[in-house]
Amino acid sequence: MYRRHPIATFCLYTALALGSLIMLVPLVWMVLTSLKTYPEILQNPPAWLPADPQWGNYQKVWEGFAYYRYFFNSCFVSGMVIAGTILTCCPAAYAFAFYEVKRKEVIFALLLSTLMLPAQVTVIPLFKVFATIGWVDTYLPLIVPSWLGGNVFGIFLLRQFFRTIPKSFIEAARMDGASEWTILWRLIVPMSVPAVLTVGVFTFLWSWNDLFNPLVYLQSEELATLPVGLLYFIARAEQLTGGSIGQSPWHLVMTLATVMVLPVIVLFAIVQRRFVEGVAASGVKG
Amino acid sequence: MNARRSQLLWFWLFTGPALLGFICFSLWPMLYSLWLSLCQDDVVTPSRFIGLRNYIYLFFYDPAFWQSVKVTLIFTVVQVPLAVGGALAMALMLNEKVRGLGFWRSVYFLPSILPQAAFAVVFGFIFQADGGLLNELLSLGGIKGLAWTTSPEWALPVLIAMSLWAFGYPMVIFLGGLQSVPRELYEASRMDGAGAWARLRHITLPLISPVIFFNLVMGVIGSLKVFDLAYAFSVAQGPNIQPGGPARSTLFYGLNLYQQAFGYFHMGLASAMAWLLFAFIVLITVFNFRFSRRWVHYEN
């Protein structure tokens, strides 16, 4: 068996370690800054570590600037979007995977072709209609599409996975008198937990991180989700914190950014292995 | 016969929501947007048919349009090869049977899944003229830093630099591709005395060329749709910098379209921009997959 030269091994690990340091510096700097006082961030040369970690910054933005509202808004929207995606994508994927129906492949290809369609094309007509029926400045434009199989990529991913399940399982369940609905949720979905999880995580990331759609559809500040809330805060930071003009309270901004990023990191830490393998297997960007 | 019928019923029940969604949220808006691109529309007054005038205006009279095309083009030409190349280099390193593969993979993947809005704000802070981390580090080396984020020359390079943190998706797809290259080929080439470079050049790269190709196409399409990153970056610079600023130097195509539609309510003009984007995406997808057969090595 071939063995690597020790010097090559040393170089490889050094490069990997340096690279990951560069990857993590922005995140570390964000967290460190969020724990500093305002004079500390202005200090020159910089104080690398906060002398006395200001955990109070978190309480300040959470309560003082009603950031909890944005946080729970984001939780609500993401939760509804994930529920809708799973509830409508699973049945569609099951039908496309197992039913013998004429022109099934054509219909599926038509659905898939919408992956090419950029959101910029559909957002203008949809905005006009949503404005007419009074949905603008509500969560409906963000949530309803996901309850109508809006995540075509999810349907694709689930179908690929479902197809690996032997058809005889389904035949046997039908013999036992199980309805199609029961077969789907009691047999197929429990057998496909990694795929369903991957779709769920993708959907969460897409919804939680999205700035474009909330920016278009939400106008009232109390409805804002985290990405929009962060920008609201920056736009009005001077007025909120009583700072002087042109001096953004970066320590508080970084506190907000941390609150927004942390759930993503925690989720990723829990599911990273399956998720990354799901990405590799699907070969499609989220 | 009865079983067949009930299966058909279940098929329509199960795919019904998705098909309804397809009609309501994709097909119909797509066609309506094509119609709008031929109209003058400001949301408030009824739209008026004006033929191709939106397209003529964009091509011949709208400097913002060409500026946004230029910004997007520069970003694509510089960022996509760097990101895909970096992703390939990382995947090659991680494919070298390293210890703790899962850990390294996660660290390099992490920035790709973080909210771009937050990421842009953090980088906006790091690149600040006063008190930004980069300038502080430079001053330790005796170098006077610049006002990176508010300079029309440097804002776009800074955006490109920060977008290079997010190469996780192509990296993981490369890793999958590399793992499917048969081990025996490497063993055999070692017997023949091929060096590391020759193995990379003559075995690895040809065999994973479809993956390289896929990642390049996805990268180009992604760069055409940049929005969150650029918008949040501008806002983080405070009220003196407009979205797309300074001096339109980061006016990406998607950002320009958003401004036209939801800043000025030029819905017809923005629809024309959206259709040009869509046509371009369809074009490169079709053209590139045709073209790819000539130089990409496929297994069969």
DSSP 8-state class, residue A19: H
DSSP count for chain B of H helices, then E strands: 15, 2
With an 8 Å Cβ cutoff, is B82 touching chain A? no
Cβ within 8 Å of residue B157, ≥6 positions away? none
pTM of the model: 0.90
Phi/psi at B99 (nearest 5 deg)?
-75, 150
3-state helix, strand, coil in chain A (%, to 5): 75, 0, 25
Structure tokens that stand for B282 in this block: 């369809």
Segment 116-145 of chain B within 8 Å of chain A by CB: 116-119, 121-123, 125-126, 128, 130-131, 133, 136, 139-140
B118·A257 Cβ contact <8 A = yes
Contact residues on chain B for A257, CB-CB shorter than 8 A: 118, 121-122
Look at residues B237, B241, B243 and name the one whose alpha carbon lies nearest to residue B262.
B243
Cβ within 8 Å of residue B101, ≥6 positions away? B94
pLDDT at A274 (0 to 100): 79
CA distance A276 to A184: 26
CA distance A185 to A194: 15
Burial letters B181-214, b for 16+ CB under 10 A, else e: eeeeeeeeeeeeebeeeeeeeebbeebbbebbbb
pLDDT at A284 (0 to 100): 47
Q: Where are the alpha helices (DSSP H) in B95-140?
A: 101-113, 116-126, 133-140
With an 8 Å Cβ cutoff, is B111 touching chain A? yes
A26·B165 Cβ contact <8 A = yes
A117·B278 Cβ contact <8 A = yes
Q: Say how many Å lie between the first and final Cα of chain B, rounded.
A: 41
3-class DSSP assignment, residue B48:
strand
Burial letters A92-107, b for 16+ CB under 10 A, else e: bbbbbbbbebeeeeeb
List the single residue in A with minimal CA-CA distance to B187. Answer: A2
Phi-psi region of A186 (alpha: psi -120 to 50; beta: other; left: phi over 0): alpha
pLDDT at B294 (0 to 100): 58
DSSP 8-state class, residue A150: -
| Cβ–Cβ < 8 Å for A214, A224 | yes
Contact residues on chain A for B25, CB-CB shorter than 8 A: 122, 126, 145, 148, 150
Please write the tens of the pLDDT for every residue from A44-98: 677 778 888 888 888 888 877 778 889 999 999 999 999 999 999 999 999 999 9
CA distance A3 to A139: 58
Segments of chain B with pLDDT less than 50 = 299-300
Look at residues B128, B163, B133 and name the one whose alpha carbon lies nearest to residue B146.
B128
Cβ within 8 Å of residue B253, ≥6 positions away? B68, B69, B71, B72, B224, B226, B273, B277
B225·A99 Cβ contact <8 A = no
| Cβ–Cβ < 8 Å for A110, B21 | no
Segments of chain A with pLDDT less than 50 = 1, 284-286
CA distance A260 to A82: 18
Angstroms from B248 CA to nearest CA on chain A? 19
**ipTM for the assembly:** 0.88
Phi/psi at B92 (nearest 5 deg)?
-65, -40
What is the dihedral sign for C-alpha A68, A70, A71, A75? positive
- Nearest CB to A150; choose among B25, B109, B176: B25
Look at residues A191, A198, A184 and name the one whose alpha carbon lies nearest to residue A98.
A184
Residues in chain B, overall count:
300
List the single residue in A with minimal CA-CA distance to B224. Answer: A118
Segment 204-223 of chain B within 8 Å of chain A by CB: 214, 218, 222
Please write the tens of the pLDDT for every residue from A145-156: 999 988 888 999
Contact residues on chain A for B170, CB-CB shorter than 8 A: 285
pLDDT at B102 (0 to 100): 84
Angstroms from A264 CA to nearest CA on chain B? 7
A91·B214 Cβ contact <8 A = no
